[in-house]
């Protein structure tokens, strides 16, 4: 017997319209819910409601109940909504599908399963004839004008309305309304006709001629400017089921993430590309990307993610060596970070690329790398000092600052501006847990020396752990506590035990246990370790009063009298962090920075 394909008929409650083709409105009054008898097999009859005005409908369901077949059957799902006591809206789904039956085990709604393929067709027809006319008749008097749904959307809790706050209003970012297409369908056709083959040949050239550069320029423009074409990022409109409809105007299968992947494949999976051609192509891609920084927000995000993913080589996946990033792209990414008009979503995408560049492209100790990492750090410090930004942006800023491996202002070796900024974030109770914990982890990635007074910094880390333990006891399920505590733990340890792991520009492993003398850090580490161990060994269980009292006693006994990292530094959390002056071309600031950041 030919098994029918998935067949679904849905009966759903509606207050303003009727549809008899696929969706049939139904409002079924009920008395009480009775628990049905348990049945054999993987499915059971559970809480089948008895409609008072249509008892024949329930009898019809019960008459059709048979032990379900292994490979088929019909599922009836009844899902209730918030309604007055005398009327309940229910959604009834009839389906013949093995996958559907498997999914019923996870359905929270009340469920009845019955029948074989033969019963499917018969019962479906009977249910349709028996229920649809009655449901329409029941729903017709309660029909309302088209604008009757407005109070529901607004959050009112009238009869049959949605609970307040269920649907929240939100504003669309103005950057999403920008549409500036720099490339057209005609340009795509022209490139494929006139330049695609010369572009492929130019990538194989070891000595680039003027014609080769012209072809690569055209290729770079083709790959970058296509990001601005609306057809690659606009929302796809659901198409009506019409087999005769033409696909001429259908949206392309490629989306922006596909364009990113395909562009990277041009340089990674092309075995014949030469280093000279690769570097020139990446240079042109980076240069043209700046033209997209005032385009649609989605376009900006994708082009910034691309800049962080550009590969200078192919790496060695078999040996676990990732492709090296294209370091010159950091200048465009920093431009976005410094631009006050850029959306924070775009800045987060830029930070993703800067993080990869710092970890994989600038980690080696080298004067040129040190200068670039210092430039990146000095651009991130004033951004992290702001308190009115989104916590996710703050978290990414702290993570990237730790990857720079910079502690001092390059123009003033007596000003540990990066360490001071991160310590202030750790101590700031107005910031998000994730941002504060990531700042603590970043401190463990900085080069530290004996000129720094780390006692107040370590005290603030333990105090942060104590604050989280208190908040955890108040509501263990509210936040991602395990993630917060583990991030705090990583302030003392490296993420992995690979021997080649080291901080940027240095030789030691990450973590405060590696950076500071044991007598200075071991006791602090033990306090944080017991907090983390409790969450690992007793998930969901609150800290005992003895544990919290022990941590509180430790804090009272170890409160530092000197809360300054250096003699000239402000006390942690007491003042805004000084903003470093822009570095001149020679990389040396003429005077120490003194301008404060105005707190908003």
What would you measure as the largest C-alpha separation in the chain, in angstroms?
91
Task: Name 212's Cβ contacts closer than 8 Å, sequence gap at least 6.
Answer: 201, 202, 205, 277
Q: Which of 71-75, 341-345, 354-358, 571-575 shows the lowest per-residue confidence on average (mean pLDDT)?
A: 71-75
How high is the pLDDT of residue 393? Answer: 97
Identify the band that residue 501 occupies on the pLDDT scale cut at 50, 70 and 90: confident
Distance CA 459, CA 374 (A): 27
Burial of 581 per CB tally in 10 Å (0-12, 13-18, 19+): middle
Chain-centroid distance, C-alpha 567: 41
Residue 343 DSSP class: -
Which residues in 90-112 are b (16+ Cβ under 10 Å) and which e? Answer: bbbbbbbbeebbeebeeeeebbb
Distance CA 366, CA 362 (A): 8
**Average model confidence (pLDDT) across the chain:** 75
Distance CA 596, CA 503 (A): 29
Q: What is the reported pTM?
A: 0.69
How high is the pLDDT of residue 75? Answer: 37
How high is the pLDDT of residue 438? Answer: 97
Distance CA 338, CA 308 (A): 17
Provide mean pLDDT across the span 115-134: 67
How high is the pLDDT of residue 137? Answer: 61
Q: Which of 34-48, 234-248, 482-496, 564-578 shows the lowest per-residue confidence on average (mean pLDDT)?
A: 34-48
Convert the pLDDT of each residue in 22-60 to its tens digit: 333 332 333 233 333 333 333 333 333 333 434 444 444
How high is the pLDDT of residue 131? Answer: 65
For residue 261, pLDDT beyond 60: yes
How high is the pLDDT of residue 394? Answer: 97
Helix (H) or strand (E) holding 135: helix 117-139
545 is written with which tokens? 């009063």
543 is written with which tokens? 């800290």
For residue 282, pLDDT beyond 90: yes
How high is the pLDDT of residue 119? Answer: 62
* Higher pLDDT pick, 20 / 57: 57
Distance CA 279, CA 305 (A): 18
Q: Which of 151-155, 330-334, 460-464 shows the lowest per-residue confidence on average (mean pLDDT)?
A: 151-155
**Domain spans, the chain:** 8-142, 184-234+252-361, 394-600
237 is written with which tokens? 């409109």
How high is the pLDDT of residue 88? Answer: 31
How high is the pLDDT of residue 163? Answer: 56
For residue 240, pLDDT beyond 80: no
Distance CA 579, CA 382 (A): 6
For residue 146, pLDDT beyond 90: no
How high is the pLDDT of residue 372? Answer: 96
How high is the pLDDT of residue 413? Answer: 87
Provide mean pLDDT across the span 473-487: 89
Convert the pLDDT of each residue in 366-425 to its tens digit: 999 999 999 999 999 999 999 999 999 999 999 999 999 999 999 998 899 999 999 999
* Higher pLDDT pick, 224 / 588: 224
| pLDDT > 90 fraction of the chain, expressed in percent and rounded | 52
In contact, 476 and 484? CB cutoff 8 Å: no
For residue 197, pLDDT beyond 60: yes
For the beta carbon of residue 200, count every other beta carbon within 10 angstroms: 15
Task: Name 588's Cβ contacts closer than 8 Å, sequence gap at least 6.
Answer: 410, 411
Distance CA 315, CA 322 (A): 5
By C-alpha distance, which of 171, 303, 166, 278 is closest to 227?
303
Backbone angles phi, psi at 78, to 5 degrees: -120, 110
Helix axes 367-385, 391-404, angle to 10 degrees: 160
For residue 440, pLDDT beyond 50: yes
| pLDDT > 70 fraction of the chain, expressed in percent and rounded | 65
* Higher pLDDT pick, 585 / 562: 562
Chain-centroid distance, C-alpha 434: 14
For residue 562, pLDDT beyond 90: yes
Provide mean pLDDT across the span 331-353: 96
For the beta carbon of residue 251, count every other beta carbon within 10 angstroms: 15
- The answer for 561, left when phi > 0, alpha when psi is -120 to 50, beta otherwise, is alpha
Backbone angles phi, psi at 337, to 5 degrees: -60, -40
Give 24's strand partners.
11
Look at the domain 184-234+252-361 and name its fold.
1.25.40
Provide mean pLDDT across the span 207-218: 94
How high is the pLDDT of residue 132? Answer: 67
Task: Name 446's Cβ contacts closer than 8 Å, sequence gap at least 6.
Answer: 402, 405, 406, 407, 418, 419, 422, 503, 515
For residue 429, pLDDT beyond 50: yes
Convert the pLDDT of each residue in 93-119 to its tens digit: 333 333 333 333 333 333 344 455 566
For residue 262, pLDDT beyond 50: yes
Identify the band that residue 316 occupies on the pLDDT scale cut at 50, 70 and 90: confident
């Amino acid at each position: 017997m030919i098994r029918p394909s998935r067949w679904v008929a849905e009966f759903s409650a509606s207050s303003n319209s009727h549809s008899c083709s696929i969706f049939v409105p139904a409002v079924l009054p009920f008395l009480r819910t009775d628990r049905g008898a348990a049945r054999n097999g993987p499915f059971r009859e559970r809480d089948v409601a008895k409609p008072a005005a249509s008892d024949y409908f329930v009898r019809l369901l019960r008459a059709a109940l048979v032990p379900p077949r292994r490979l088929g059957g019909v599922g009836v799902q009844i899902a209730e909504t918030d309604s007055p006591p005398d009327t309940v809206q229910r959604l009834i789904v009839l389906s013949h599908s093995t996958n559907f039956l498997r999914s019923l085990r996870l359905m929270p709604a009340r469920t009845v399963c019955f029948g074989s393929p033969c019963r499917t067709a018969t019962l479906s027809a009977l249910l349709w004839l028996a229920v649809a006319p009655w449901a329409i008749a029941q729903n017709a008097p309660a029909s309302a004008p088209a604008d009757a749904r407005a109070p529901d959307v607004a959050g009112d809790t009238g009869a049959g309305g949605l609970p307040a706050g269920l649907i929240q209003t939100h504003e669309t970012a103005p950057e999403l309304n920008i549409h500036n297409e720099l490339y057209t369908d005609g340009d795509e056709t022209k490139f494929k006709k006139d330049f695609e083959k010369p572009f492929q040949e130019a990538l194989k050239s070891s000595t680039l001629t003027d014609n080769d550069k012209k072809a690569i320029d055209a290729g770079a423009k083709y790959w970058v400017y296509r990001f601005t074409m609306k057809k690659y990022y606009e929302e796809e409109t659901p198409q009506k089921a019409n087999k005769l409809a033409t696909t001429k105007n259908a949206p392309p299968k490629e989306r922006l993430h596909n364009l990113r992947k395909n562009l990277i494949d041009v340089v990674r999976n092309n075995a014949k590309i030469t280093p000279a051609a690769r570097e020139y192509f990446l240079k042109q891609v980076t240069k043209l990307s700046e033209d997209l920084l005032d385009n649609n927000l989605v376009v900006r995000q994708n082009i910034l993610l691309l800049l962080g993913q550009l590969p200078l080589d192919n790496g060695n996946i078999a040996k676990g060596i990732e492709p090296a990033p294209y370091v010159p792209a950091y200048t465009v990414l920093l431009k976005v970070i410094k631009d006050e008009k850029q959306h924070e979503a775009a800045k987060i995408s830029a930070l993703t690329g800067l993080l990869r560049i710092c970890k994989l492209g600038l980690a080696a100790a080298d004067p040129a790398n040190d200068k670039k990492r210092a430039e990146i750090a000095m651009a991130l410090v004033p951004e992290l000092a702001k308190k009115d930004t989104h916590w996710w942006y703050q978290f990414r800023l702290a993570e990237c600052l730790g990857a720079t491996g910079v502690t001092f202002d390059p123009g003033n070796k007596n000003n540990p501006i990066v360490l001071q900024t991160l310590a202030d974030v750790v101590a700031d109770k107005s910031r998000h847990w994730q941002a504060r914990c990531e700042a603590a982890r970043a401190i463990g990635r900085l080069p530290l020396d004996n000129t720094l007074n780390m006692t107040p910094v370590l005290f603030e880390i333990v105090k942060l752990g104590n604050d989280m333990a208190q908040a955890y006891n108040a509501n263990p399920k509210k936040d991602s506590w395990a993630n917060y505590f583990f991030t705090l733990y990583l302030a003392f340890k490296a993420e992995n035990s690979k021997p080649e792991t080291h901080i940027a520009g240095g030789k030691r492993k990450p973590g405060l246990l590696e950076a500071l003398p044991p007598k200075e850090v071991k006791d602090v580490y033990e306090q944080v370790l017991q907090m983390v161990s409790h969450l690992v060994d007793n998930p969901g269980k609150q800290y005992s009063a003895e544990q919290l009292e022990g941590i509180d006693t430790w804090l009272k006994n170890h409160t530092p009298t000197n809360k300054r990292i250096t003699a000239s530094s402000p006390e942690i959390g007491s003042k805004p962090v000084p903003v470093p002056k822009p570095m001149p071309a020679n990389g040396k600031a003429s005077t120490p920075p003194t301008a404060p950041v105005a707190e908003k």
